[in-house]
Amino acid sequence: MDTHAADELRRLDNSDLLALFTTLEAPAIAEMEGEYTAALLAQPNLFAVVTGKVAVANPLGPWLCKAFRPVDANGGRGYNTFGEFGQVRQRYPMRTLLAPSRYDGAPAYTLIYRAYISMCGSINMVDEVRRAAPGVYLGLGTWGFTDSQRRVPRPFLLTGPVGPYRGDIGIARPAFTTSSRELPGPLA
């Protein structure tokens, strides 16, 4: 892992992170395997700061990792881990694939939570990930019920892998098909 690259990402503001994201390349499906330490980066507004602190920077249940495993050449599965009373808990399963980014149309390693039944699926969460350096990944999370809500980038940092994939979790959403809600393509 390139610790210098991770430190640089931590220093950038939200608009610089978004600008940098559009210059990066997507990792291959096969590259993303194992658990990756996760942390929020500079958020776009006070609402995102507060919801981020409650959801993933909560000291009672801190966000630890995102994890991935390839299923085939076209996609994979994943989950998030959180600390809970000294235990590591897997939550929020997702489907992974390479898809056009909502920000520039270029490929992004995309995490679609709505494919599984969970709170993140219910709020239409989609994350896009690109490689900033070997073992260092810049992610942009989105969620919301309207198109405008789903346009707000909430940056995060992934580093690793730091451990093995623990195993698949979650219940697939019946008859789920990916739609423009998850993969809207570039913004106009």
Where are the domains positioned within the chain? 3-162
The reported pLDDT for the residue numbered 148 is 84
To the nearest 10°, report the CA torsion of 182, 53, 2, 20.
50
53-72 core/surface letters (b: 16 or more CB in 10 A; e: else): eebbeeeeeebbbbbbbbee
What is the CA 131 to chain-centroid distance, rounded? 12
The reported pLDDT for the residue numbered 184 is 79
Location of structure tokens 């219940």: 171
pLDDT along the chain (188 residues), means of 10: 87 95 98 97 78 73 95 97 93 96 95 95 94 97 88 94 97 90 70
Length of the chain: 188
The reported pLDDT for the residue numbered 1 is 63
Bridge partner list, 75: 72, 97
The reported pLDDT for the residue numbered 55 is 73
Q: Which fold has domain 3-162?
A: Lipocalin (2.40.128)
The 3-class secondary structure across the chain, one letter per residue, is: CCHHHHHHHHHCCHHHHHHHHCCCECCCHHHCCEEEEEEECCCCCHHHHHHHHHHCCCCCCCEEEEEEEEEECCEEEEEEEEEECCEEEEEEEEEEEEEECCCCCCEEEEEEHHHECCHHHHCCCEEEEEEEECCEEEEEEECCCCCCHHHCCEEEEEEEEEECCCCCCCCECCCCCCCCCCCCCCCC
The reported pLDDT for the residue numbered 11 is 96
